[in-house]
Amino acid sequence: MRVIKFSTEITTTELAPEGFQKQLNDKYGDSLLMYYSVNGNFRRVHLNSAEFGADSQYYFAKKAKLYFTNKNNSQVDSLDTRENSLKLLSKGKIKNQKIMNLDCECYEFKAISIYNQNVTLNYCYNSESPKINPELYSDHNDFYLNEYYGLAKRPYLKFSIKTEEFKITYLANELIEKEIGEEIFKLK
């Protein structure tokens, strides 16, 4: 079991509506914990989001579903990850980056969203990081996560999504190998 702690950096462009930066900061917080299970499940926990901001995203590999929970709200939304909300324009390797003093290989996916917006996704990983089994993520087509895991065979140490209005970057600052009980993956 591994846990990766990320800092969350959010920026907006002049095309973003008034107050959008604050909305995104309130929704996603300032950091993220990513829990990986050996069976392909993962959970993203947003830290320091606002009172009704994002709490967690749970991925259950056997169901090919991503579940979203928010703070102070019992409603659970879900997404079928076999469907990709993006239409790929191009993909490829881009310049390496230093993350946590590690040389990381990076890949970029350029796509069009269902709202006809340009979207750029970047994933970076270190080849010395502990491996994961990419087959466990073969049904996570959304955001080309299955393709990324197929290439890297490792968790990402950086993920960013950039649109014409905003950019959200998750940058790893700690990688922890430890035993975690399965209760961390219980949908709340």
Residue 77: give the domain boundaries.
2-185
Give 33's pLDDT tier (boundaries 50, 70, 90).
very high
| 104 Cβ neighbours under 8 A, 6+ residues apart | 96, 97, 98, 124, 125, 126, 157, 158
List, for residues 176-186, the tens digit of each pLDDT value.
888 777 788 88
Residue 188 has pLDDT above 80, yes or no: no
In this prediction, residue 11 carries a pLDDT of 97
Tokens of residue 16, six digits = 């973003």
Domains contained in the chain, number: 1
Distances (CA, A) of 47 to 5, 25, 44: 10, 11, 10
Region of poorest pLDDT, from 1-5, 20-24, 121-125, 126-130: 1-5
Q: What mean pLDDT comes out for the span 161-169?
A: 97
In this prediction, residue 183 carries a pLDDT of 83
CATH number at residue 72: 2.50.20
